[in-house]
Amino acid sequence: MTTKNQALAAWVQDVATLTRPQSIVWCDGSDEEYDRMVSLMQEQGTLSPLNSETHPNCYLHLSDPQDVARVEHLTYICTSEEEDAGANNNWLAPEEAKAKMEGLYDGCMDGRTMYVVPYCMGPVKSPYSRCGVEITDSPYVVINMKLMTRMGTLALKRIEQEGSFVKGLHSTGELDPNRRFIMHFPEELSIMSYGSGYGGNALLGKKCHALRIASWQARKEGWLAEHMLILGLESPEGETHYIAAAFPSACGKTNLAMLIPPEKYKDWKIWTLGDDIAWLHMDDQGQLRAINPEAGYFGVVPGTNAKTNRNAYEMIQQNTIFTNVGTTADNQPWWEDKKQGEPASDWKGNPYSSESGPAAHPNSRFTVSATENTAYSSLAEAPEGVPISAIVFGGRRKELAPLVYEAKSWDHGVLIGAGVASETTAAATGQVGVVRRDPMAMKPFCGYNFADYWSHWLSFSERTDNLPKIFHVNWFRQNDDGDFLWPGFGENLRVLQWMIQRCKGDADAVETAIGYLPSEQGIDVADLNIDPDVWQSLISINDDQWRQEMSDFGDYLDSFGDRLPEKLREQHKAVSAALG
């Protein structure tokens, strides 16, 4: 196979000249190709079958132990002007970045096969979708891209019709952390990644294209590319509302997107549209509509069990790639909090011993096609997307942030989004559990200056008066013993219900300086046996803590200097003044 698109053919040729692969394979995205790649990887020893009776068509990949997460300190936005990348990004001049990368790529595919992977982010027939081509020397990337995107012939056809595509070049290199970079060139719609095989660093359709490059395009074209799940909440009467929610990495998007309602609400239903990325466009009626650019889930394994997330648990019993989990004696995948079986081997392939840490890496992942999810929405493939009623921001905060609150307006909601801060997780290398600012859960993913990003968000209230309501949630409040105060998971449905009632004007709320909070009876928790004092603390705010928070947040906003939109400053002033 080759292509009618001259630019693509020429680029593939140039890359081959630079990287000097043994052979070039154009991927068609077929099931046969997937099976072939799986066999090849088994021969090469990079993939092993799991117990085929309990887990048909499931495989285990153990990565290099130093290549298990995103590397934010090695991720760059390379714009001609440094200010366009902003203080929220690492920056390198494009020419310098390219010279560095070309040095690394020189002959790097010697003896390897180069795969050309055309993919489409979003339903192939959607006007909102965008295509890309990833060139990679990693069979692991190819099989993951097959599950995560609309990959192969149809995507290539669309590229040939449309003419435009994002260029992503990836090589696993030597997996040396000192020779590892993820570079983005938003002005040229291109990506260069070297030295890592890990998801967010190597599956270039995902964070690199669908967030960093797409956020840049979205700003130019008047839409939004966000780190958000999309779900449909269907009431017993059959009315469905769609919610998009942004939480930082490993803070509960996949779980919320496939939530199973508790017994008491069994006539309610959650439909999954997406679990990680949403592209939001405004339609002719001024309604925001969302599509999920992805076609699969690259989800956090630990913590997934039949009780916390039965949908996800069942979805990964077949046709799944596991990365960096442990295994049981009879070769089933095992991870912490699986609540079933015992580990025999750990994620490094060594015999399991409790002294040498968890059996599964805390950022171990499953890769599975979205169609394996029994709650996958029939509208997930709709070219026009779904209308969004509510946008939710959230973070992982032991204290401070209440269970839920509602913004007083869109502009105030933008302030709330910009104010997201969260404890760091194992999804990125570095310290875990320290609070850091993560506006809109996009700190690692916004492909341009946050000040310009907030201006862009604020511009939406000038375009329509039909915008979704904005909320903030925190499932992760803890007591001094480190126990979670809120049961979370399925019970989060109660909070979603409150939001939808608020959207319809049907629920009470208490006005506070930071926004509207539920009244004591506003959310039904009577059967949850939550201590009344605990419930009170979940739905109230501590003014002293919030004054300190607003002061820290103000300093953070100031660090963006003159580019910070005046409207955001005003919103910040108003909340600070209300706190007194």
Residues carrying an active site annotation? 251
In 3-state terms, what secondary structure has residue 38? helix
* Rounded Cα distance, 334 and 358, in Å: 10
Instruction: Please calculate the CA angle 572-574-577 and round it to the nearest 5 degrees.
Output: 110
Closest approach of ligand SPV to the CB of residue 434, in Å: 16
Beta carbons of 191 and 209 less than 8 angstroms apart: yes
Beta carbons of 344 and 322 less than 8 angstroms apart: no
Please give the full DSSP string across 199-258, using - where no structure is assigned.
HHHH-TIIIIIIIIIHHHHHHHHT-EEESEEEEEEE-TTS-EEEEEEE--TTSSHHHHHT
Each residue 288-327 as x (binds ligand GTP by CB under 6 A) or -, in order, gives -----------xx-xx----x-------------------
Q: Which of 224, 228, 250, 550 binds ligand GTP (CB under 6 A)?
A: 250
For ligand GTP (CB under 6 A), the number of binding residues is 22
Please give the full DSSP string across 246-295, using - where no structure is assigned.
E--TTSSHHHHHT----GGGTT-EEEEEESS-EEEEE-TTS-EEEE---S
By beta-carbon proximity to ligand SPV, the closer residue of 229 and 401 is 229
Q: Which of 288, 427, 451, 500 binds ligand SPV (CB under 6 A)?
A: 427
Q: Which of 276, 336, 346, 372 binds Mn ion (CB under 5 A)?
A: 276
Please tell me whether residue 336 binds Mn ion under the rule CB under 5 A. Answer: no
Measuring CA to CA, which residue among 413, 129, 450 is closest to residue 295? 129
Near ligand GTP in 255-294, by CB under 6 A: 255, 275-276
* Rounded Cα distance, 325 and 9, in Å: 39
Place of tokens 């508790």: 262
Please tell me whether residue 199 binds ligand SPV under the rule CB under 6 A. Answer: yes
Please tell me whether residue 249 binds Mn ion under the rule CB under 5 A. Answer: yes
By beta-carbon proximity to Mn ion, the closer residue of 200 and 385 is 200
Place of tokens 């942004």: 246
Q: Which helix (H) or strand (E) holds 494?
A: helix 492-504
Near ligand GTP in 419-448, by CB under 6 A: 427
Please tell me whether residue 33 binds ligand GTP under the rule CB under 6 A. Answer: no
Question: Which does residue 375 bind out of ligand GTP, ligand SPV, Mn ion, none, counting CB within 5 to 8 angstroms by kind?
Answer: none
Please give the full DSSP string across 426-493, using - where no structure is assigned.
TTBSS-SS-EEE-GGG-TTT-SS-HHHHHHHHHHGGGT-S-PPEEEEE-S--B-TTS-BSS--GGGHH
Please tell me whether residue 404 binds ligand GTP under the rule CB under 6 A. Answer: no
Please tell me whether residue 443 binds ligand SPV under the rule CB under 6 A. Answer: no
By beta-carbon proximity to ligand GTP, the closer residue of 331 and 492 is 492
Closest approach of ligand GTP to the CB of residue 293, in Å: 14
By beta-carbon proximity to ligand GTP, the closer residue of 5 and 429 is 429
For Mn ion (CB under 5 A), the number of binding residues is 2
Near ligand SPV in 60-89, by CB under 6 A: 70
By beta-carbon proximity to Mn ion, the closer residue of 62 and 278 is 278
Q: Which of 207, 212, 241, 338 binds ligand SPV (CB under 6 A)?
A: 207
In 3-state terms, what secondary structure has residue 572? helix
* Rounded Cα distance, 36 and 55, in Å: 19
* Rounded Cα distance, 361 and 345, in Å: 12
Point out which span in 74-82, 247-255, 378-386, 505-513 binds ligand GTP (CB under 6 A): 247-255
Question: Which does residue 251 bind out of ligand SPV, ligand GTP, Mn ion, none, counting CB within 5 to 8 angstroms by kind?
Answer: ligand GTP
Strand 166-171 and strand 130-136: the pairing is parallel
Near ligand SPV in 263-302, by CB under 6 A: 276, 298
Please tell me whether residue 485 binds ligand GTP under the rule CB under 6 A. Answer: no
Distance of CA 351 to CAs 301, 303, 354, 357, Å? 20, 22, 10, 12
Each residue 96-135 as x (binds ligand GTP by CB under 6 A) or -, in order, gives ----------------------------------------
Question: Which does residue 346 bind out of ligand GTP, Mn ion, ligand SPV, none, counting CB within 5 to 8 angstroms by kind?
Answer: none
For ligand SPV (CB under 6 A), the number of binding residues is 9
Question: Which does residue 196 bind out of ligand GTP, Mn ion, ligand SPV, none, counting CB within 5 to 8 angstroms by kind?
Answer: none
Please tell me whether residue 29 binds ligand SPV under the rule CB under 6 A. Answer: no
Q: Which helix (H) or strand (E) holds 328?
A: none
Number of other CB atoms surrounding residue 100 within 10 Å: 17
Point out which span in 32-40, 198-206, 415-423, 532-540 binds ligand SPV (CB under 6 A): 198-206
Near ligand GTP in 488-517, by CB under 6 A: 488-489, 492
* Rounded Cα distance, 276 and 445, in Å: 12
Point out which span in 47-55, 89-97, 159-167, 200-208 binds ligand SPV (CB under 6 A): 200-208
Q: How far is CA 344 from the centre of its chain?
A: 31
> For residue 388, what are its two tokens?
């969004």
φ, ψ of residue 186 in degrees (nearest 5): -60, -30
List interacting residues with ligand GTP (CB under 6 A): 247, 249-255, 275-276, 299-300, 302-303, 308, 427, 475-476, 484, 488-489, 492
List interacting residues with ligand SPV (CB under 6 A): 70, 199-200, 206-207, 249, 276, 298, 427
